[in-house]
Structure formats: structure tokens, C-alpha cells
Amino acid sequence: MSRSRTPRSSHQLPKPSMLPQPGATPIAVTSIAFMMLSPNAIGQRMPEATLPTIRVEDRVDPMTVNPGYQATETRVGKIKQDPHEIPQALTTITQQLMEEQQVGSLREALRNVSGLTFNAAEGGRSGDNMMLRGFYTFGDLYLDGIRDTAQYNRETFFLEQIDVLRGSASMLFGRGQAGGVINLVSKSPRLVDAYKLTGSVGSDGYLETTADLNKRLGDDSALRINLMKRNEGSWRSNPVTGAEPEVDRGGAQISFVHGLKTDAEIALSHVYLRNRDIPDYGFSFDNNTRRPNTNFTPDTFWGIDANFDHGDTHITTATWTRRFTPQSELRTTVRYGDYERSYWARTPSPTVAPNAAGTLINGANYNAGPTRASDYKTLTLQSDFGNRFQALGMKHELVAGFEYLREDSHRASLLNLSGGNTVALFPPPTFKPYVESTAGINDFTGNSYAVYIQDTVEFIPSWKATLGVRRDELDATYSSVTSPRLDYGRWSGRTALSYQPTESAHYYVSYSDSFSPTADLYQLTVVPQPPETSKVVEIGAKWMLFDGDLNLRAALYRAEKHWERNTDLESTAAILTKKRRTDGIEIEAAGRITNDWEIFAGLALMDAKILDTAENIDATTGVVTKGNPGYIGQRPRNTPDYTVNLWSTYKLGGGWKIGGGAEAKGERYGYNPSGAGPIPTLPGGTAFHPNTAPSYTRWDAMLAYEQRDWAMRVNVRNLFDKVYYDAIYDNGPFTIPGSRRQFILTGELKF
């Protein structure tokens, strides 16, 4: 069953009493949407007024797949689908939403996802690092459906949209975690001549330029080039030297398609991303209060100008699509990726002030800070076949495919070029990018193979059943002497039951699972321990309101993880918890309420608990150590009770548009639950009280003037200049303050 929509350019208006009145707040709009969840409202078209038909001319960008905030197309389920048809919670961040918010990095874009929080840099695991539904996602990042788990900072200038599929997804994507899959969708060439240039300038040294250039080369061929250069300073600085965290990034994507919209299509693309940042490791907690410390002001930065975070990412992709019928196609992709990264950061101190050398003096020792050099190469072959057909009087949607992934990973610590060591105060440490030490080297080579098949059958009208199964095999070798090899295989499953009484209503219940082997993405253990596994049960509903212009979804889920791994590659304790669970509710709305009013909003409530503590094996003695039972029943790390996101815009007429929104998160904990030692408490106390990042609400605003060929936009981030902490080092020592009030002026030219 597919939905049809009446464009707002020609349908009759609903009754005025059903629409938000002038001056209504976004909260009022949301309330109206929720009132429409009654059985009498769901799935029904609103009564038509006796007013004359009003025609509104909307200018749709020919370069955009999903204009507005509502997605109507996705490939997150391996084939092109309507998101309304997928029996699983799905959030899509569209290009228009990212542009209106002046989003640059993936991290900034994901503020629009309910139930998502950010991790600060972990030991050896830098780059994009998020939690979804309280579970890690660093093994669940994909680019155009291809595994992309390298540690680097992702940008959005070449993205069409970002799809976040909630819940375990090993049947569709292979090994991964419980929270969900984050799939980045690249911009692709179109059969038009269209060019767009943007330039932005703002406070804290913000400068950005982008170009989106599309050229039609024939009846079925086109070329598209996307370019970006961005620099950002910070409101935080080293009081001794004036050094501050910096962002210096650039990138390019060039893509070519031949045979577009024909039976045989070939697409080629290459993405290059470059960053030359000064990293920010954040701000320490106070051991006496377990809150961000007050010995220093939040704008204090412990880094120096010599610190660095350098990265160069190259991703080359070729895709061949063979369409046998309008309902049947084979899509085969080959990709080569090369991800180089090297960094030296400074960790903050709760008691020692920053100095010019970037050292923390502790008696006769100094802390040089974390260093890393890494080179990760991948080769992927992936083929997916989709076919819609009828058999035995029933409609089928069949998806099948295979994958091969070759991984070559190398990482090492950097060499201290000053000649000092950890017990010498002078000379201060000095590191250079990619100049490696002979210690701390870890190499990994892996070959992964997978086959899968899934069928969705409409066995009686309005009822569909989905059943899928996948087999993954991983054969890997490591530089570790104690655990040099991994030979692992596992089955994964996915099942769902859907009821779609009308084109605008979809009710479902689904089950999915996921897994990660003992050494995949994590450090090795002397004795291989059971794989990390998870299972998710979800009950949900999706409704299309206002003639399909507004999507409203709700989901109730339980996600359970076993043998949860530590993401800190330097940690000696591989297992964090033996069993933990998140029960949650999510409600999201995306799309138009009126011709002029758009909204994108989400609410996530999470009840998360540790159910059983860790079991770790000592690398030397082989003794098994259990975590302190005092962690049982406690809320896991970086998992707030609630998150809220809201963005809404309104067209005032004459080309003017206003917008704004908020991001809110509850308290988040930072601690390590794997140890047998005492649980964290306040001094002199006995109750569980870990380091805690306080709850916060950040408000943003926008004012834009838009014409057919050009536009101007002013964005204000953190409108009320609130000090808040948006990322947390989940092992506990520190957190990273979010940006203070920032103004950004953007000009846009189309031709």
C-alpha cells in the first residue's frame, strides 16, 4: 500500500477552526497534532470547508529529493521506500532543515534527533561519537548504505539527508549496536542545470563558503560538484597563551551519473574531507560536587596552539543499477575508503591551571595528553536486489543481497620528539602528526562476508508480515600476541507485523537484533568473551495528517543489551555491563501544518537500567572480576531521562520567513561501571552519585529573506547565551561546554 498526496498547491483548505490561529505558539501546534490522535481523527481526511479553492504556487528546488522537513523517500531499508511503509521508527533530517539551521557538521545536524546524546572524545576513539536510545552508535554509521565506521569528523555539505533507523539492525546492515543506524545520504546528479553558492560569516571567527554545482551533460547524464571550506574559533581559550579550540575543515564531492532514469545506470563519486583542527577535550568535574568544577570559569581551555587533530578522508564509490521492470532492480556498489587521522589533545584538570607548555604537573610527573596516529582502509562490494510482485494471491516485497568488506586498520601512539618522558618535567612534550612511537601499535586485518533475504507479504488486505534473516562471517587477524585471530559467524533476524487500514495510518509491532564480536571495533581480550548482542521490541504508529503534509509517529520500545563492550580502546576492562536495558517512548512530528507553517519536533523519554554487572578477565592472571553490584539498578552513562527537540518556521509573506526552536536534555551521568571498586558517591556519602552533566535547554532563532534566485539568512545559536554542557566523556572525568550565543549571517545565490 502506498500513499498518495494531494499537493497543497491545489487542494481545498480545511476548516479554519481546525487550523492554528495567527499568533499560536509551536506548543499549541503540537497540542493540535496530538489531539488529532483520537480514533475519530486518525487516518481520516479533515472535513472540507465550503470555501473556494485557493491555489498556492510553491517553488520546489529541483535539486532536492525531499523538499521541506518531511521525507517521502529513503533507502535505509536497502531499497527505495516511502518512510511511512517501514515498520520501524525512522527519523529523517532533510536538506532544507540543515540549511535553515546553518548546519555544518554531522554532530550539529543530529541535535534534531530525539533520544540522541553526544560523547566527548574517548581513549583512542575520536571523531563522531553519539549515543542513541542510550547505546553507542560508532559501529552503526553508514554512507549511502555502506558501512562507514572510521573515526573522523563528518560534514553535511554534500548530504541530501540523514536517515536514523531506530533499533537493532543487524539483519539489514550486519554487526552493530542496539540504538540504531545512522545512514548519511549523498547528493547525486540531476538532469538540470542548477548552481548554488553560499557564504557565511559569524561571531567566534565563523567563516564558511559552499558550492553546489550541477550540470546536465545529455539526455541521461549529469555531473555534480559540491565544495566546502569552513573555519571556526571558540569562546573558550587558554588564559596564558590565548590558544583556543579551532575548526579548520574543507571538502569536495564530485559525482557523475550516466543512464539516469534508464534501465542501466552507472554512478561514480569521490569524496574528500580534510580537517586541521585544534581539539577540545573539555572541562573537568569537581570530585566534591560531581558537577562541572568551579575552580575555573567555563571558558578556560587547557590546550595550546601546538595541539592538533589532522584528518584526510578519501571515499571512492561506483554503483551500477540494473532495472528489470519498474518494480525490480539490482543495485551493486564497490567502494574504497582511506581514512587517515592523527591528533594530540590536552586533557583538562579540576585543580591545575593551564600553562603555555600544555602540561599538567603532578609532583614529578607530567601528563602529555592523548596522542594517536591511525590509517584505516576499506574495500566493500555490496549487491542488493529488490522486487515487488504477486504470488499465490498475495503481494510481496522481496529484498536480498550479499556483502563483502575488507578492512586494514593500523593505529599507534605518537613519539615524543622533545626527548622527555613521563617522569621528567622538562623539556615539555612535543608531538607531530603521524610521527609514531614504537609502543602502542595495534594492527587489524579483517574479511567480512554476509548474505541476507527479507520478504514483506500482504497476506490479507491491509495486513503485512515482514520476515528477514542474515548470516555474517568475520575472519580477522590482529597484532595481539595473546589473541591474534577471530573467526566468527552469526545469524540475525528481523520480523514485523503491520496493519494499514488506510493510506494515512500504519500500526506495527517489530522485533530485531544485533551483535558485535569480541574484538570488532573494541580492544582484544586474552580469552574471547561472548559477543555483544542486543534485541529490540517496538510497537509503533505512523499517521499522515493534513492530506499527507504532516507526518506524526509514536513508538514504545524495549531495547536490551548483553555483554556491553567498553568503547575506550586503551581500557583493560573490555566489558562494561553484562546486561542492561532501556524502555522508552518516542513521539515525533515533521512536515507542514499550513502552507506557511512547518515543524520538526521530537520527544524521547528513556527509562534505562543496568541489570547485571560486568565480568572481566585479567590479562595476566586470567582471574575473572565482577563489577560492583552497587551498579545494578542504576541509570547507565550518558542516557538522560528525556530529550526534546523542536524547530519551526513561518512564512510572513513578501519573501520573509522566521524560525526558531529548542534542544533540551536531562541530566547525564559519566562513570565506569565495570570495576569491582566502590561506586561513585559524594564525599562522605554512600548513595550512588556519579559525575553529572546538568540538564539544559538551548534556544535558537532564524530570520530569512528569500527570493527565487537569492536569499539572506541570520541564525542565532544559543539565543539566551546559556552555559550548558552538551557532550560528556562517559568514563566520567570531564564534559565539553556547548557554544555560547553565536550570530551567523548567510548569503545564498542560485543561477
**pLDDT, tens only, 510-560:** 999 988 876 655 555 666 778 889 999 999 999 999 999 999 999 999 999
Task: Quote the pLDDT of residue 395.
Answer: 95
Q: Which residues of the chain have pLDDT under 50?
A: 1-59, 123-124, 364
> How many whole angstroms separate alpha carbon 391 and alpha carbon 397?
11
Structure confidence at residue 733 (pLDDT): 85
Neighbour count for residue 163 (Cβ, 10 Å): 24
pLDDT of the residue at 595? 94
The superfamily (CATH) of domain 194-750 is TonB-dependent receptor, beta-barrel domain (2.40.170.20)
Q: In terms of DSSP H, where are the helices of 73-139?
A: 95-100, 106-109
Q: How many Å apart are CA 362 and CA 422, to the nearest integer?
A: 10
CB atoms within 10 A of CB 606: 24
Residues 6+ apart with CB under 8 A from 283: 292, 293, 296, 298, 300, 348, 725, 734, 735, 736, 737
Contacts of residue 263, defined as CB under 8 A and 6 or more positions apart, other chains included, come to 322, 323, 324
DSSP string, 3-20: -----TTTSPPBPGGGSP
- CA atoms of 113 and 103, how far apart (whole Å): 14
The three cell numbers locating residue 505: 495510518
Q: According to the model, what pLDDT value does residue 50 have?
A: 43
Residue 486 has what pLDDT?
79
Q: What is the pLDDT of residue 44?
A: 40
Per residue in 287-320, pLDDT (tens digit) is: 899 999 999 999 999 999 999 999 999 999 999 9
The continuous run of DSSP H or E covering 325 comes out as strand 308-325
Q: Grid coordinates representing 730?
A: 562517559
Extract the C-alpha cell encoding 260. 539516469
Domain ranges of the chain: 194-750
CA distance linking residue 528 with residue 518, whole number of Å:
6
Q: What pLDDT score was predicted for residue 48?
A: 40
Residue 441: what are its φ and ψ, rounded to 5°?
Answer: -85, 135
Instruction: Please state the pTM of the whole predicted model.
Output: 0.88
Give the long-range contacts of residues 552-556, CB within 8 A, separation 24 or more.
Answer: 552/33, 552/36, 552/37, 552/587, 552/588, 552/589, 553/89, 553/90, 553/586, 553/587, 553/588, 553/589, 554/37, 554/585, 554/586, 554/587, 554/588, 555/89, 555/166, 555/584, 555/585, 555/586, 556/584, 556/585
What are the two backbone dihedrals, phi and then psi, of residue 400, each rounded to the nearest 5 degrees? -150, 160
Percentage of the chain lying above the pLDDT 90 cut:
65
pLDDT in tens, 332-369: 999 999 999 999 988 888 888 888 887 776 554 566 78
Residue-level pLDDT at 362: 57
